[in-house]
Amino acid sequence: MRALLLTVLLLGGCGEVWNDPYPATERGKNILYSVFSERPKHLDPAQSYATDESQFTMQVYEPPLQYHYLKRPYELIPGAALEVPQPKIVEKEGSTFSVYEIRVRPGIRFQPHPGFVEGNLSLEREKIEKLKTPYQLPLGTRELVADDYIYQIKRLAHPQLHVPIFGLMSEYIVGLKEYSAKLKKELKPGTWLDLRQHALAGVERVDAHTYRVTLKGRYPQFAYWLAMHFFSPMPWEAEKLFAQPGMAEKNFTIDWWPVGTGPFMLTENDPNSRMVLERNPNYRGVPYPSEGEPGDAKAGLLADAGKPMPFIDKAVYTREKEAIPLWNKFLQGYYDLSGIGSDNFDQAVRITAEGDAGLTPEMEARGIRMDTSIEPTVFYLGVNWLDPVIGGSSERARKLRQALAIAVDWEEYLSVFANGRGVPSHSPLAPGIFGYREGRAGMNPVTHEWKDGKAVRRPIEAARTLLAEAGFPDGRDQKTGQPLVLYLDTTSRGPGDKAFIDWWRKQFAKISVQFEPRQTDWNRFQEKLRKGSTQLFIVGWRADYPDPENFMFLLNGPQARAKGGGENASNYSNPEYDALFAKMRHMPNSPERQEVIDRMVEMFRRDAPWIGGFHRKTFGLYHSWLGNLKPNEMADNKLRYYRIDPAKREAARQEWNRPVLWPALLILLAIVAGTVPAIRSYRRRERMAARPAV
Amino acid sequence: MLAYIVRRVLYAIPILIGVNLITFALFFIVNTPDDMARMQLGAKRVTPEAIEKWKAERGYNLPLMWNEKAEGAGRITQTIFVQKSVRLFLLDFGYSEDKRDIASEIRTRMWPSLALAIPVFVLGLVVCVSFALLMAFFRATYLDFWGVVLCVAMMSISALFYIIGGQYLFSKVWHLVPISGYAGGLDAAKFVILPVLIGVVGGIGGSSRWYRTLFLEEIGKDYVRTARAKGLAESVVMFRHVLRNALIPILTGVVVVIPLLFLGSLLAESFFGIPGLGSYTIDAIQAQDFAVVRSMVFIGSVFYIVGLILTDISYTVVDPRIRFE
């Protein structure tokens, strides 16, 4: 026992932290530590479509374009391309085509990869079976060429891949739909389909570093897609390597082992536990931006201007499924950055009397910093336009919706259920998107009025008046006298959702309308949306790119969910709106486009197909040793910009995680103290002549 | 004995078919193949064609259990149930819905599960049996009374409380061990110390109280009185006679869980970030990954049957009077 106590004291005195979850060999290294909560499903640039996947893919793959890290509004700049391509509009046989000619920067090299070693493309199965990672094979590289981009565009039509944007792209890229049908015929089970042997009409090679994409009609938003991983280069050698028999059984596929020209390469892929990105030794070292928004220089965001990126050597992502360990490890300094969950909000953030969010003294004492940004999202209470009671373009239904839009207090909702992490929406457009208007001009006059320099929700009497005009005075049908009952389809059905349901009931009760939740599971909810059998529902949308088209299309009639499975979940139908949308989508950002958007927003407010909603606000926390951090809701390739001060982190970890030993000693003493009388009692009993009766 | 084992193995086949059938029915009552496709393909920009393609690739475009369009035996065989079930009996688990080889995942993930489950099982058994013997030894004293009170209190507390409380004290406040995470090899030790401790402590209440009851039942029997009459020390009576004779009911509950140790702990693995088979199963249920759920339930059933056979065999070891017939 004495030896044990001595050991404990010695270990405690040696200054080492005991709760460090990382190997001792990593201490003091230039490594970023972060988390992922959802197991990534796809890392193939053609198939991946989730934000938590792009935190990996976008560090590895390099699309032709990217978003400027610092400038706002979001600006497209060249990625692997030499410049942002401008479409050439061509009229041919009565049809309009947009031709994008993309010039790839010469001299870019792929990461080290086994696919680039010829001998690896015809491996024996036994050798494959012995591999633990594909990187155990000899590695090679080669220069990035236009053919790699062309190969990837062809992959968008591959019959064996699930490409989420195939439907959309086949409407635009000339010949993509036919190409898919052709590949289906060519595909032989168990063999690799070499796409190089099959030409795609809409994509052509101009020279080794230039390719051309021809689109049907005008589609200016295509440039944004060129900044996404769908249009990253894919070397045919990687596909061929992983198509060998035995590779899939080892989980060696492009879907799990991405190959690219970006600043990092995925060297460890255990989606159950941890993912590791390491510096790509062949990366060319793109300089850090030298200009940004006003205030960026003062914030130290331009201190690294012109220096070659990336600044960190490695990024370790650990899977944390539960919020408690994640938050505590962040506070202990074992994660460099973190979001804020509802459970930790009060511990991390205090809201000032002016309504501004700031860090609590505990966070400030640790040097933690906070950034907030409005996400390009919109969450809304949708109305099914096909519903006979509340849907449709009749004056009665419109006034009913407007009354509800006044009654439902989204400001209160955000305060109660989201700790203020959001801003109420006055239009489908999220702040920061072209067409969004700030201040009074951006206020929805149907639901709000301007008072004391801010938008204030209209009094509930206004809602009651509208309800009476709609034929439901005091919440009763004036013809039948029956109470008006409205139904919300929701996936909130657990015991913890009672407060949520009660809140909604209270909103409707303000104007004496009865509220009934129809609680269901996610699958049934989606099915109801598809069939158009809901009445009210809450859904959300996160934009793919910062263009108003990517929000306004949520109300475009031809994309109604119940008719064609589109993203217009409320099935809103207004020919005038649709005509303006068709015009607006092809316009460049200009005062004329703003005017069209204003008219569309006005229609949206008048018709109220959504009973209000909100745009989500992100709160991000990061430690003082992490630099060059600026929220960017569009760029996913942010890792290259980050800078770490490992010595500062190490010192903080040591200070914050000193083992506290006295409780362990106390427990040991308690055990010893409890054992002694037991032993004495045992000995006494052993010496007794007879057992007491039991 | 061999004949008995063979007979039990043959009995297992209809049991496994039944389990498979129930799993299938329960899963597809809640989910349709369309739901599964939507879950895998995501919520954005999913077209009906993409869903049909996903189903066709994985064989979910067939009818569930009866194919009207097929002829003869095809009416049964050309169904999702048969197509997906037959391979299981050949231990071919196939691929998860996100195209990962399930057998490879199981081989990888069973080690973290075992790294947690075996120490919890062994230490838990030793601690609980010792504690129960101690209470039985000090029966009808304050030690016994407060021991039972402690057991009742401990078994009344949720496992989640032990986990969160343990993480809070040992990791957050005292900084003694990592709060979560995992590493292979010997490095696993620092990550499993806390979950093992919590697993053992969390199990003390229920198990010790049960074992105590068993021991007290034995203590009142004639052979114990005879042993004492012979002048044997109480420790010899307890360990050599009482413990050995109480082993049969203990074995009933203990041996059957040994094969199930492979399957891991659903709760502990999630909270401690241990990438074992428990968290694999939870992930699969949440992702509506029928291929994984089906495989894990099948393996669980097989292991349970193996555990029951082992239990029967162990009876003959601890009690020579028991014979297989």
3-state secondary structure of A391: coil
CA atoms A596, A602, A605, A607: torsion sign: negative
Percent of chain A residues topping a pLDDT of 90: 81
Phi, psi of A36 (to 5 degrees): -140, 145
Report yes or no: B56 at the A interface, CB cutoff 8 Å.
Answer: no
Q: Which residues of A touch B179 (CB under 8 A)?
A: 19, 21, 325, 328-329, 332
Cβ-proximal residues to A268 (8 Å cutoff; 6+ apart), any chain? A133, A274, A275, A276
The answer, yes or no, to whether residue A3 has pLDDT greater than 70, is no
Question: Smallest Cα–Cα separation from B292: which of B303, B304, B306, B282?
Answer: B282
3-state secondary structure of A511: coil
Residue type, B184: G
Count of beta carbons in the 10 Å neighbourhood of residue B120: 22
Instruction: Give contacts of A 78-137 with B, CB under 8 A.
Output: none
For tokens 């119940």, what's the residue?
A: A562
Query: Which of B45, B110, B139, B266 is best to mutate for the A interface (most A CBs within 10 A)?
Result: B45
Phi, psi of B90 (to 5 degrees): -95, 10
pLDDT digits 0-9 by tens, B67-79: 888 888 889 889 9
- Mean per-residue pLDDT, A572-601: 96
Q: Quick check: B273 and A526 CB within 8 A? A: no
- Rounded to whole angstroms, how far apart are CA atoms B9 and A125? 35
- Rounded to whole angstroms, how far apart are CA atoms A452 and B211? 73
Q: Strand pairing partners for A276?
A: A268, A316
- Rounded to whole angstroms, how far apart are CA atoms B187 and B209? 35
Quick one: A583 and A672 in the same domain? Answer: no
Q: Strand pairing partners for A337?
A: A622
Q: Quick check: B270 and A50 CB within 8 A? A: no
pLDDT at A11: 46
The answer, yes or no, to whether residue A419 has pLDDT greater than 80, is yes
Quick one: A443 and A494 in the same domain? Answer: yes
Please, are residues B91 and B82 in contact by the beta-carbon 8 Å criterion?
A: no
pLDDT at A144: 98
Cβ-proximal residues to B282 (8 Å cutoff; 6+ apart), any chain? B266, B269, B270
Quick one: A418 and A550 in the same domain? Answer: yes
Alpha carbon distance, N-terminus to C-terminus of chain A: 36
CATH number of the domain at A540, please: 3.10.105.10
Q: Quick check: B178 and A19 CB within 8 A? A: yes
3-state secondary structure of A140: strand
pLDDT at A96: 94
Q: Which residues of A touch B31 (CB under 8 A)?
A: 523
Quick one: A503 and A406 in the same domain? Answer: yes
Report yes or no: B109 at the A interface, CB cutoff 8 Å.
Answer: yes
- Rounded to whole angstroms, how far apart are CA atoms A499 and A263? 47
Quick one: A401 and A466 in the same domain? Answer: yes
Q: Is the model more confident about B248 or about A557? A: A557
Percent of chain A residues topping a pLDDT of 70: 97
Nearest Cβ partner of B275 from A167, A270, A521?
Answer: A270
pLDDT digits 0-9 by tens, A345-354: 888 998 776 6
pLDDT at A4: 47
pLDDT at A354: 67
Please, are residues A242 and A136 in contact by the beta-carbon 8 Å criterion?
A: no
The most distant pair of C-alpha atoms in chain A lies apart, rounded to whole Å, by 115
pLDDT at B207: 93
Which residues of chain B carry a pLDDT beneath 50? Answer: none
- Rounded to whole angstroms, how far apart are CA atoms B67 and B74? 7
Instruction: Give contacts of B 166-195 with A, CB under 8 A.
Output: 167, 169, 171-183, 187, 190-191
Residue B194 CA to its chain's centroid (Å) = 20
Quick one: A495 and A601 in the same domain? Answer: yes
pLDDT at B164: 92
What total of structural domains would you count in chain A? 2
Phi, psi of B34 (to 5 degrees): -65, -40
What is the pLDDT confidence band of residue A134, given thresholds at 50, 70 and 90?
very high
- Rounded to whole angstroms, how far apart are CA atoms A77 and A60? 18
Domain boundary residue, one of A565, A596, A618? A618
Nearest Cβ partner of A19 from B134, B176, B220?
Answer: B176
Quick one: A409 and A458 in the same domain? Answer: yes
Q: Is B97 exposed, middle or buried (0-12, 13-18, 19+ CB in 10 A)?
A: buried
Per the domain annotation, does A428 fall within a domain? yes
Bond preceding residue A424 cis, omega within 30 of 0: no
Structural domain including A463 reads: 377-618
Residue A418 has which token pair? 């989201």
pLDDT at B138: 86
Quick one: A585 and A669 in the same domain? Answer: no
What distance in Å separates residue B252's CA from the closest CA in chain A?
Answer: 28
Report yes or no: A526 at the B interface, CB cutoff 8 Å.
Answer: yes
pLDDT at B37: 87
Give the residue on B whose Cα is nearest the Cα of A255: B99
- Rounded to whole angstroms, how far apart are CA atoms B260 and B118? 10
Query: Which of B44, B52, B96 is best to mutate for the A interface (most A CBs within 10 A)?
Result: B44
Residue type, A527: E
Please, are residues A593 and A220 in contact by the beta-carbon 8 Å criterion?
A: no
pLDDT digits 0-9 by tens, A59-101: 999 999 999 999 998 999 999 999 999 999 999 989 999 999 9
Q: Quick check: B271 and A681 CB within 8 A? A: no
- Mean per-residue pLDDT, A635-642: 96
- Rounded to whole angstroms, how far apart are CA atoms A638 and B230? 80
**3-state SS string for chain B:** CHHHHHHHHHHHHHHHHHHHHHHHHHHHHHCCHHHHHHHHHCCCCCCHHHHHHHHHHHCCCCCCCCCCCCCCCHHHHCCHHHHHHHHHHCCCCCECCCCCEHHHHHHHHHHHHHHHHHHHHHHHHHHHHHHHHHHHHCCCCHHHHHHHHHHHHHHHCCHHHHHHHHHHHHHHHCCCCCCCCCCCHHHHHHHHHHHHHHHHHHHHHHHHHHHHHHHHHHHCCHHHHHHHHCCCCHHHHHHHHHHHHHHHHHHHHHHHHCHHHHHCCHHHHHHHCCCCHHHHHHHHHHCCCHHHHHHHHHHHHHHHHHHHHHHHHHHHHHCCCCCCC
Phi, psi of A339 (to 5 degrees): -85, -175
Domain boundary residue, one of A596, A618, A640? A618
- Mean per-residue pLDDT, A202-230: 96
In this structure, the dihedral spanned by the alpha carbons of residues A27, A30, A33 and A38, taken in order and rounded to 10 degrees, is -130
Per the domain annotation, does A407 fall within a domain? yes
pLDDT at A44: 96
Per the domain annotation, does A571 fall within a domain? yes
Q: Quick check: B180 and A21 CB within 8 A? A: yes
Nearest Cβ partner of A39 from B31, B108, B283?
Answer: B283
- Mean per-residue pLDDT, A338-361: 84
- Rounded to whole angstroms, how far apart are CA atoms A308 and B136? 72
- Dihedral-angle region of residue A37 (phi above 0 means left; psi in -120 to 50 means alpha; beta otherwise): alpha
Residue A343 has which token pair? 């459970």
Per the domain annotation, does A102 fall within a domain? no
Q: In A254-288, which positions are buried (b, 16+ CB within 10 angstroms) versus exposed (e)?
A: bbbbbbbbbbbbbbebebbbbbbbbbbebbeebeb
Per the domain annotation, does A288 fall within a domain? no
pLDDT digits 0-9 by tens, A241-277: 999 999 988 889 999 999 999 999 999 998 888 999 9
Q: Quick check: B104 and A249 CB within 8 A? A: yes
Per the domain annotation, does A307 fall within a domain? no
**3-state SS string for B35-50:** HHHHHHHCCCCCCHHH
Please, are residues A399 and A467 in contact by the beta-carbon 8 Å criterion?
A: yes
DSSP class of A105: P
pLDDT at A641: 98
pLDDT digits 0-9 by tens, A439-456: 999 999 999 999 999 999
- Rounded to whole angstroms, how far apart are CA atoms A265 and A281? 9
Alpha carbon distance, N-terminus to C-terminus of chain B: 8
What is the pLDDT confidence band of residue A535, given thresholds at 50, 70 and 90?
very high
Quick one: A530 and A675 in the same domain? Answer: no
3-state secondary structure of A595: helix
Nearest Cβ partner of B104 from A49, A251, A681?
Answer: A251
Q: Strand pairing partners for A621?
A: A338, A370
Q: Which residues of A touch B178 (CB under 8 A)?
A: 19-21, 329, 334
Quick one: A610 and A542 in the same domain? Answer: yes
DSSP class of A690: S
pLDDT digits 0-9 by tens, A156-186: 999 999 999 999 999 999 999 999 999 999 9
- Going by DSSP bridges, is the β-strand pair A626-627/A448-451 parallel, antiparallel, or unpaired? unpaired
Please, are residues A572 and A609 in contact by the beta-carbon 8 Å criterion?
A: yes
- Going by DSSP bridges, is the β-strand pair A314-319/A349-351 parallel, antiparallel, or unpaired? unpaired
Instruction: Give contacts of A 393-452 with B, CB under 8 A.
Output: none
Domains and CATH numbers, chain B: 2-89 (no CATH), 102-318 (1.10.3720.10)
A344-358, A398-412, A449-463: least confidently modelled range = A344-358
- Rounded to whole angstroms, how far apart are CA atoms A338 and A340? 7
pLDDT at B262: 76
Domain boundary residue, one of A586, A618, A650? A618
- Mean per-residue pLDDT, A31-43: 92
Q: Quick check: B273 and A325 CB within 8 A? A: yes
Q: At what angle do helices A591-607 and A575-584 cross, to 10 degrees?
A: 160
Q: Which residues of B touch A328 (CB under 8 A)?
A: 167, 171-172, 179
Phi, psi of A443 (to 5 degrees): -80, 140
Report yes or no: A248 at the B interface, CB cutoff 8 Å.
Answer: yes
Nearest Cβ partner of B167 from A168, A324, A663?
Answer: A324
Per the domain annotation, does A185 fall within a domain? no
Quick one: A496 and A597 in the same domain? Answer: yes
Residue type, B308: L
Quick one: A572 and A675 in the same domain? Answer: no
The answer, yes or no, to whether residue A129 has pLDDT greater than 70, is yes
pLDDT digits 0-9 by tens, A538-548: 999 999 999 99
What is the pLDDT confidence band of residue A236, given thresholds at 50, 70 and 90?
very high
Per the domain annotation, does A313 fall within a domain? no
Instruction: Give contacts of B 262-321 with A, CB under 8 A.
Output: 270-273, 275, 279-280, 283, 287
The most distant pair of C-alpha atoms in chain B lies apart, rounded to whole Å, by 84
What is the pLDDT confidence band of residue A10, given thresholds at 50, 70 and 90?
very low
Radius of gyration of chain B (CA): 25
- Rounded to whole angstroms, how far apart are CA atoms B249 and B243? 11
Report yes or no: A5 at the B interface, CB cutoff 8 Å.
Answer: no
